[in-house]
C-alpha cells in the first residue's frame, strides 16, 4: 500500500507530490492532461496586488517556503525553473507615484516596495512618470516544470496518464483501493476539473478564464517584467509572454477573438513599438469567491483530501498549501480557517 495517490499533475499536484517525497512518503500520480491552467500560467510570483497596492495574503510566509521548495525541486529535476527577476510597475500619473510612496510606508508592504523610483528608459515603452520596483519577485517557468516533473515521475514508474474513474474508487477501513492501487490517502488536485468529482463537487470552485500571448517585438528591449493592466515577461530573443485577461463566464480552454482584441488593446497602452502575435493560448484558473484555496479532508471519507483553488497565484500558494495539507494529514496540525474547506460546510455537518 502506498501513502498517497495524487490525482492531477499541475502546480497543486506537483507541490503535494514533492512535499510527500521530501518527507519519505510513497506516491503515485494520475492525470489525463485535460486541465490547462498550470500549463498556460504566467508563473509570476509577486507579493503585492498592484491594482490596489495591497499585500498578498501571507506573502512573506509563502515566499520563504518557495525559495527552499523550488531549489530542492530544481535539484531533483536537474532543471532551472525559478527565475528571480524584478517586476516594475509603470506609473501613468504623478498621482500613481504618490500612491506608491504612501503604500511603501505601510509596515506590511515596506519589504516589497522599493522607495527608489526607476528612471531607466526601455526601448519600445514611453514612461514619462517612470516605474516603481517590486522586490522579492520573479517567475517559475511552469511549462518546463510540468514537463520535467512528469518525465521524472514516468522514469520512476510513478505516473499514469489516464482519467480517474470515480466509480472505481473503493473506500477501505484504512485507505482506498483504485483498481490495482491501494493507498492510505487520495489527494484530488484536479483544478477546474473538480466539478466532475462527486466527493467535492459541492464546494464553490469557480473558474476564471485567462488568455495570454507570446509576442515577438524586436524593438522592445526588456530585462525586467513590466506589470500594469497586463504583464510583459521577457523570454528568449525577441519573444515575450503577455497576459492576462479575466473572463468569469466562459469556462473553455479555447482562445477567443474577444480575448485577443482585449490583450492587443492593453499591450498598446504600454508599448509603442510593433509586435507580432506568435502564439495565443487560454486556460481556466481554479478560483474561489473568497479568494482563498480549498484545502482539507472529506467530512465522511477521511482518506479523501483536496488541494485546489490556487487561482492566479499558484506558484506562490502551491508549496505553502501542500505543506499545510501534508501536516494536517500526517501530524493533525489544524488548517488555517481561511483555507479549510470546513468553512463551507453547514454547521450540522462539521
The ranges assigned to domains in the chain are: 2-43+143-204+290-349, 85-138+206-288
CB 16 within 8 A of CB 325: yes
Res. 38: pLDDT tops 90: no
Average pLDDT across the chain, whole number: 93
For residue 58, name the pLDDT band (cuts at 50, 70, 90): very high
Residue 286 has pLDDT above 60, yes or no: yes
Which triple of cell numbers denotes residue 241?
A: 509572454
Confidence band of 36 (pLDDT split at 50, 70, 90): low
Q: What is the pLDDT of residue 343?
A: 94
Q: Hey, what's the cell of 219? A: 524593438
Residue 35 has pLDDT above 90, yes or no: no
pLDDT above 70 covers what percent of the chain?
A: 97
β-strands 27-31, 159-161 pairing: parallel
pLDDT of residue 345: 80
With pLDDT > 90 as the criterion, what percentage of the chain qualifies?
A: 88
Q: What is the CATH number of domain 2-43+143-204+290-349?
A: 3.50.50.60
Q: Which residues of 191-229 are buried (b: 16+ CB within 10 A; e: fewer)?
A: bbbbeebebbeebebebbbbbbbbbbbeebebebbbbbe
List the CATH code of the domain at 85-138+206-288: 3.30.9.10
pLDDT at position 349 over 60: no
CA distance 229 to 56: 17
Under the banding of pLDDT at 50, 70 and 90, the label for residue 103 is: very high
Q: Is the pLDDT confidence value at 350 over 70?
A: no
Query: What is the pLDDT averaged over residues 167-188?
Result: 96
Average pLDDT over residues 268-291: 93
At residue 209, the pLDDT reads: 92
Query: What pLDDT, in 10s, does the model give residues 206-240?
Result: 989 999 999 999 999 999 999 988 999 999 999 99
Mean pLDDT, residues 78-107 taken together = 95
Amino acid at each position: 500500500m502506498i501513502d498517497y495517490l495524487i490525482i492531477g499533475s499541475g502546480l497543486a499536484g506537483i507541490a503535494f507530490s514533492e512535499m510527500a517525497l521530501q518527507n519519505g512518503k510513497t506516491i503515485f500520480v494520475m492525470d489525463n492532461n485535460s486541465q490547462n491552467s498550470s500549463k498556460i500560467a504566467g508563473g509570476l510570483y509577486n507579493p503585492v496586488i498592484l491594482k490596489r497596492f495591497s499585500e498578498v495574503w501571507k506573502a512573506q510566509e509563502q515566499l520563504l517556503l518557495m525559495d527552499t521548495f523550488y531549489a530542492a525541486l530544481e535539484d531533483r529535476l536537474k532543471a532551472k525553473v525559478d527565475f528571480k527577476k524584478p517586476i516594475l510597475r509603470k506609473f501613468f500619473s504623478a498621482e500613481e507615484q504618490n500612491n506608491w510612496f504612501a503604500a511603501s510606508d505601510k509596515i506590511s508592504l515596506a519589504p516589497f516596495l522599493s522607495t527608489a523610483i526607476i528612471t531607466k528608459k526601455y526601448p519600445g515603452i514611453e514612461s514619462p512618470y517612470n516605474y516603481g520596483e517590486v522586490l522579492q519577485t520573479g517567475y517559475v517557468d511552469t511549462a518546463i516544470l510540468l514537463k520535467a516533473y512528469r518525465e521524472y515521475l514516468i522514469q520512476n514508474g510513478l505516473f499514469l496518464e489516464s482519467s480517474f474513474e470515480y466509480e472505481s474508487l473503493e473506500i477501505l477501513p484504512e485507505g482506498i483501493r483504485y483498481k490495482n492501487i491501494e493507498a492510505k490517502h487520495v489527494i484530488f488536485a484536479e483544478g477546474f476539473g473538480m466539478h466532475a468529482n462527486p466527493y467535492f463537487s459541492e464546494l464553490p470552485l469557480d473558474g476564471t478564464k485567462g488568455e495570454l500571448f507570446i509576442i515577438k517585438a524586436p524593438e522592445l528591449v526588456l530585462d525586467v517584467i513590466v506589470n500594469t493592466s497586463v504583464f510583459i515577461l521577457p523570454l528568449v530573443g525577441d519573444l515575450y509572454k503577455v497576459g492576462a485577461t479575466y473572463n468569469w463566464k466562459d469556462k473553455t480552454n479555447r482562445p477567443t477573438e474577444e480575448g485577443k482584441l482585449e490583450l492587443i488593446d492593453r499591450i498598446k497602452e504600454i508599448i509603442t513599438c510593433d509586435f507580432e502575435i506568435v502564439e495565443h493560448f487560454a486556460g481556466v484558473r481554479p478560483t474561489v469567491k473568497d479568494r482563498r484555496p480549498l484545502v482539507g479532508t472529506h467530512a465522511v471519507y477521511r482518506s479523501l483530501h483536496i488541494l485546489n483553488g490556487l487561482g492566479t497565484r499558484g506558484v506562490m500558494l502551491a508549496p505553502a498549501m501542500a505543506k499545510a495539507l501534508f501536516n494536517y494529514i500526517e501530524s493533525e496540525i489544524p488548517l488555517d480557517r481561511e483555507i479549510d474547506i470546513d468553512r463551507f460546510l453547514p454547521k450540522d455537518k462539521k
